[in-house]
């Protein structure tokens, strides 16, 4: 959530920053804010006058005036008029505050000064590449064909017998490979200093709102309507809410967590894109990394977060590139984002496998997560960061395509062989 005081004091600056992200008009919000402040001023004046009247009536009665004294009657009448006006003002003020809150929840984060300016993904900037892109002389099978030939991916049974399209059943070595990837990633991150978390997979509306998923992405999520619970779209949501409404000590920071969860997304609006394979499923597994950090350290933390995601790809020997997302391609809660894209030989292209973002105080403000420095009276909002470390299904797809052999087998990356107990699928 954006800071209302910043919007009030720097409306042109905030409006210009929002325009880099799309069509957002602050005028209605500024009008509501002005109305609310006027009502607040009027209410304060009335309350002060009411207190003054009560004091004067008490003094008059103490001095011997009777209840029927014209001066006391006049004061009481005025007091009753004030109470009546306050009874009208207070709900009106609450209603405007509710409208302001609802408006603020629709506004995305402001891009950082170091975020490239651009209108769409075409304007993202490549930062670096790692590894040599595998371009075989003969045609390369896509990962879903490899998986079906090996008998480790079954999309037909998932769609026709169990769920619907964009689900998959992992069979035999496919299920084992998925489990191996999850364990490998968690082991790698915990050795790097992350604390492993296993959160609930069902989350409430308040948690989704605090992390920035609601109201913006309601149509993207699966809801259990009778219980005010939703299937988690990403472990970022429960990890954000681990410290909702907490005041941490500055010396506790940074806090770094990692979590495996299945993730559930409707993928509304993506029909016709990646309809085959593991790239865009309604249910997929992911390992998430999350930082709660001091505001002075968050951009350093972002670079470290990206390196932790890159480490997984490097250990798996999967070629990739890093992109700095432009303002028009940023996620709703992010101020600066790097995407990692892994090489997919069958499409002769790089595909997103991780997104690492610095949200500054945007999520912390929504979730009311603050910290207090030693010796200081006040508190301030901390900064939050999140990143995929990695999306498991897309990692499996990249392994199947980059490690396929001429005889049809798929070599298991060396770091995964101890988990699987085999060299080939």
DSSP secondary structure, 127-154, as one string: EEEES-----SSPPPPHHHHHHHHT-EE
Q: In the numeric block, which tokens belong to residue 91?
A: 């709900």
Q: Is 220 a catalytic residue?
A: no
Which residues share a beta bridge with 259?
197, 288
From 298, 366, 394, 401, active-site residue: 394
Cα–Cα distances in Å, from 29 out to 100, 104, 143, 267, 366?
6, 8, 49, 31, 17
Go through 210-226 and write b for each residue having 16 or more CB atoms within 10 A of its CB, e for each that does not: bbbbbebbeeebeeeee
320: left (phi over 0), alpha (psi -120 to 50) or beta: beta
Check if the beta carbon of residue 207 is closer than 8 Å to that of residue 228.
no
196 a catalytic residue: no
* 359 contacts 384 by C-beta, under 8 angstroms: yes
Nearby residues of 237 by Cβ (< 8 Å), 6 or more positions away:
203, 207, 208, 211, 213
Q: Which of 280, 321, 351, 411 is catalytic?
A: 280
How far is residue 307's CA from residue 193's CA, in Å, rounded to a whole number? Answer: 13
Which of 21, 166, 265, 370 is flagged as catalytic?
265
Q: Is 352 a catalytic residue?
A: yes
Exactly one of 40, 85, 220, 352 is catalytic; which is it? 352
> Is position 355 annotated as part of the catalytic site?
yes
Catalytic residue among 355, 365, 370, 401: 355
Distance CA 147, CA 165 (A): 17
The HSE-up count of residue 208 (CA atoms within 13 Å, CB side) is: 23
CA dist 282 and 233 (Å) reads 10
CA dihedral (143, 147, 149, 152) in degrees, to 10, reads: 180
DSSP 8-state secondary structure symbol assigned to residue 242: G
**422 in active site:** no
DSSP state of 116: P
- Catalytic residue positions? 265, 280, 352, 355, 394
């Amino acid at each position: 959530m954006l800071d209302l005081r910043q919007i009030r004091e720097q409306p042109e600056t905030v409006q210009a920053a929002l325009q880099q992200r799309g069509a957002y008009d602050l005028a209605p919000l500024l009008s509501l804010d002005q109305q609310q402040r006027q009502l607040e001023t009027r209410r304060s004046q009335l309350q002060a006058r009411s207190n003054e009247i009560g004091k004067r009536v008490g003094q008059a009665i103490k001095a011997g005036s009777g209840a029927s004294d014209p001066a006391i009657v006049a004061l009481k009448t005025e007091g009753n008029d004030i109470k009546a006006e306050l009874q009208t003002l207070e709900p009106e003020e609450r209603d405007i505050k509710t409208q302001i809150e609802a408006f603020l929840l629709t506004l995305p984060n402001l891009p950082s000064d170091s975020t490239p300016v651009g209108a769409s993904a075409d304007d993202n900037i490549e930062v670096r590449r790692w590894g040599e892109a595998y371009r075989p002389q003969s045609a390369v099978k896509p990962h879903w064909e490899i998986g079906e030939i090996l008998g480790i991916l079954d999309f037909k049974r998932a769609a026709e017998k169990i769920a619907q399209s964009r689900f998959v059943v992992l069979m035999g070595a496919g299920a084992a490979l998925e489990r191996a990837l999850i364990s490998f990633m968690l082991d790698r991150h915990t050795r790097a200093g992350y604390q492993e978390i296993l959160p609930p997979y069902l989350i409430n509306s308040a948690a989704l709102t605090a992390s920035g998923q609601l109201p913006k992405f309601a149509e993207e999520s699966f809801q259990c309507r009778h219980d005010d619970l939703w299937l988690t779209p990403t472990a970022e949501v429960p990890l954000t809410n681990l410290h909702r409404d907490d005041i941490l000590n500055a010396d506790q920071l940074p806090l770094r967590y990692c979590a495996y969860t299945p993730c559930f997304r409707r993928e509304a609006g993506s029909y016709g894109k990646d309809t085959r394979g593991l790239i865009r499923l309604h249910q997929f597994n992911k390992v998430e990394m999350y930082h709660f950090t001091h505001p002075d350290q968050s951009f350093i933390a972002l670079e470290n977060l990206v390196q932790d995601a890159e480490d997984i790809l490097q250990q798996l020997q999967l070629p990739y590139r890093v992109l700095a997302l432009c303002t028009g391609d940023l996620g709703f809660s992010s101020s600066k984002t790097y995407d990692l894209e892994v090489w997919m030989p069958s499409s002769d292209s790089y595909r997103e496998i991780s997104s690492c973002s610095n949200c500054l105080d945007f999520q912390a403000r929504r979730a009311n997560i603050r910290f207090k420095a030693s010796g200081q009276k006040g508190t301030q909002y901390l900064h939050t960061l999140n990143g995929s470390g990695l999306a498991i299904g897309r990692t499996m797809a990249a392994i199947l395509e980059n490690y396929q052999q001429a005889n049809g087998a798929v070599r298991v990356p060396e770091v995964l062989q101890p988990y699987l107990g085999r060299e080939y699928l």
